[in-house]
Amino acid sequence: MNKKIRVAIVGYGNIGKYTLEAINQAEDFELVGIVRRYPNEKQPQELSGISVVDRLEALEDVEVALLAVPTRSVESYAKEALSRGIATVDTFDIHGDIVSLRNALSQVACQNNTTAIIAAGWDPGTDSIVRTMMEAIVPKGITYTDFGPGMSMGHTVAVKAIDGVKKALSMTIPIGTSIHRRMVYVELQEGYSATDVIQRIKGDDYFKNDETHVLIVDDVDTLIDMGHGVHMTRKGVSGATHNQLLSFDMKINNPALTAQVMVCAARAALRMPSGAYTLPEIAPIDMLPGEREQWIKKLC
Amino acid sequence: MNKKIRVAIVGYGNIGKYTLEAINQAEDFELVGIVRRYPNEKQPQELSGISVVDRLEALEDVEVALLAVPTRSVESYAKEALSRGIATVDTFDIHGDIVSLRNALSQVACQNNTTAIIAAGWDPGTDSIVRTMMEAIVPKGITYTDFGPGMSMGHTVAVKAIDGVKKALSMTIPIGTSIHRRMVYVELQEGYSATDVIQRIKGDDYFKNDETHVLIVDDVDTLIDMGHGVHMTRKGVSGATHNQLLSFDMKINNPALTAQVMVCAARAALRMPSGAYTLPEIAPIDMLPGEREQWIKKLC
């Protein structure tokens, strides 16, 4: 066995917990520690024996930091790590802002001779790899990405912010051709009118362009399940030949898959030249541990 | 538009014809010519106005050669092109021999400061990319690759070589978990016994381990269709989380897809450092034309 990859986890919410599990299962990694805001509070049992600190620089010789932080905090955490020469992996998921994040982090990464792998979840992330491959081998045609059924983190947060909502869950339901229905489950705050709250949700920017159904329920917590899925299709033309049909499907535990993708991307981070990269810019084999030949033998 | 990629096609059988179509549709390529064994014979109409020669060196400034030649001839054609500093793409398809082809071509490619992209069809090829990604993000579990229904070139050639067979078609039928049924359609040579021929086919190395059905027919030609397919699944574990379900499907025109993959691989060939590479060793985005940013915007 070669020298292990010295990794830190930054943030310990839902994704952070699954990232710890994925690292514990990956024999080529060695966890240096976890960065949390309040390291002196009582830590959950699974962190006993693990260094929990409040700043990355309190951990020694970290090679790569897995940023399990909210998307809007990614850039600042990444820049801080990169400026110390530590490679980063993030799951930044605002599709329209990926190019500008890449430019911002590329500069810092290059200046510090390190790498950032960005948007390294499953969408954006591994789905992007599949879309890229589909676009290449069927260059004319349409790709549809249908998500779910599964909980949308972004939409759930948006509903929770609405006046009168105590707890909420927004489920994404695929109805084909990249169109989605929103099924929103809401616990009302006392004294609020269901009709008013429903109206506010349906008028929110997150929901106003989608078919949205709001259901008032007694207990949102009993509905929550981390399963998710995607169905991607492309029908098009290779060369001059029409009706080429491709599809990719997943039914997965969402945070478990996200965490596993981050761990794979961390391997690639240490193999790439300085810079910032999305997953389609990485040779897929670099996401696997060890030497290439064994994998070519098995997978080609 | 940047300078176009100067490409040659070596071999003009079934795959070669589709490769020409794919190049004609790809605006970033410029066809320098086609290498055929008998360039002085009457050429098919679609080759009028195209240089048809008997040796690659008769074509000027070729950057990359697409080797549309039988698998067993790949190594010698590739070495010849590489030794002249011309990058190559092949669709070598003997899975167990890919590593040794890679080693052999890597040496010649590095000596001549060029690249070889090997096994660049759909299986091995783009399916290998998908298997690699699946293995990375679901590191424990089993991947099954189920081919078909579609014509197996290798098995069809094997049947044709059997005594008493005039014409033949071997279809690959997926029956799940990487197990395949062989449906063999045969036109008998005059004077041969069906029973004997069927027995010889079923005893042949290509068939003896598979469920094989042989049907004697009047006209094999009316049965031939270039459609093919694949269904790949992986069920396994990400981190410590079980029951992660992935699948990839294609229903495609086989030579059209193969040819398109070669064209995509040719782009990557000119972007990689010297050496020989299988498709999982290439950043998928390098299979697309033009600059990266536009694709990141569209596909991530």
Query: Is A81 in CB contact (< 8 Å) with chain B?
Result: no
Q: Percent of chain B having pLDDT more than 90?
A: 99
Question: The pTM is what?
Answer: 0.97
* pLDDT higher than 80, residue A20: yes
Measured between beta carbons, the chain A residues lying within 8 angstroms of B259 are 238-239
Q: What is the DSSP secondary structure assignment for residue A71, as one 8-state letter? A: G
Structure tokens at B30: 């410029």
Q: Percent of chain A having pLDDT more than 70?
A: 100
Angle at B228 between CA B223 and CA B232, to 5 degrees: 145
Minimum-distance CB partner of B132 among A98, A247, A284: A284
Q: What is the pLDDT of residue B154?
A: 87
Interface predicted TM-score (ipTM) = 0.97
Least confident of A101-105, B2-6, B259-263: B2-6
Flag if B250 and A245 touch (Cβ within 8 Å). yes
Flag if B299 and A131 touch (Cβ within 8 Å). yes
| Cα gap A62→A74, rounded to integer Å | 18
Exposure string for B81-102, b = 16+ CB within 10 A, e = fewer: bbeeebbbbbbbbebebbbebb
Provide the pLDDT confidence category of residue A1 given band limits of 50, 70 and 90. low
Q: What is the pLDDT of residue A154?
A: 87
Residue whose C-alpha is closest to residue B283's, from A94, A53, A268? A268
Residue B141 · residue B236 · CB < 8 Å: yes
| Cα gap B125→A288, rounded to integer Å | 17
Measured between beta carbons, the chain B residues lying within 8 angstroms of A95 are 300
Minimum-distance CB partner of A259 among B22, B239, B287: B239
Query: Is A273 in CB contact (< 8 Å) with chain B?
Result: no
Query: Is A162 in CB contact (< 8 Å) with chain B?
Result: no
- The greatest distance separating any two alpha carbons of chain A, rounded to the nearest whole angstrom, comes to 65
User: What DSSP string describes B25-87?
Assistant: H-TTEEEEEEE-S-TTSPPPGGGTTS-EESSGGGSSS--EEEE-S-GGGHHHHHHHHHHTT-E
| Cα gap B92→B185, rounded to integer Å | 26
Q: Which amino acid is at B186?
A: V
Query: Is A247 in CB contact (< 8 Å) with chain B?
Result: yes
Measured between beta carbons, the chain A residues lying within 8 angstroms of B287 are 132-133, 136-137
- The reply, when asked if residue A218 is annotated as ligand binding, is no
Q: Percent of chain B having pLDDT more than 70?
A: 100
Minimum-distance CB partner of B256 among A133, A244, A247: A244
- The reply, when asked if residue A24 is annotated as ligand binding, is no
Residue B168 · residue B200 · CB < 8 Å: no
Flag if B130 and A131 touch (Cβ within 8 Å). no
The shares of helix, strand and coil residues in chain A, as percent rounded to the nearest 5, are 35, 30, 30
Distances, alpha carbon B24 to alpha carbons B17, B20, B47, B117, in Å? 11, 6, 12, 21
Domains parsed from chain B with CATH numbers: 5-124+254-299 (3.40.50.720), 145-228 (3.30.360.10)
Mean pLDDT of A51-58: 97
| Cα gap B276→A170, rounded to integer Å | 48
Q: Give tens-digit pLDDT for A222-231.
A: 999 999 999 9
Q: Which of B241, B242, B277, B293 to mutate to test the interface with A (most CBs of A within 10 A)?
A: B241
Query: Is B273 in CB contact (< 8 Å) with chain A?
Result: no
Least confident of A234-238, B1-5, B7-11: B1-5
Mean pLDDT across chain A:
97
Flag if B248 and A243 touch (Cβ within 8 Å). no
Q: Give tens-digit pLDDT for A108-162.
A: 999 999 999 999 999 999 999 999 999 999 999 999 999 999 999 889 999 999 9
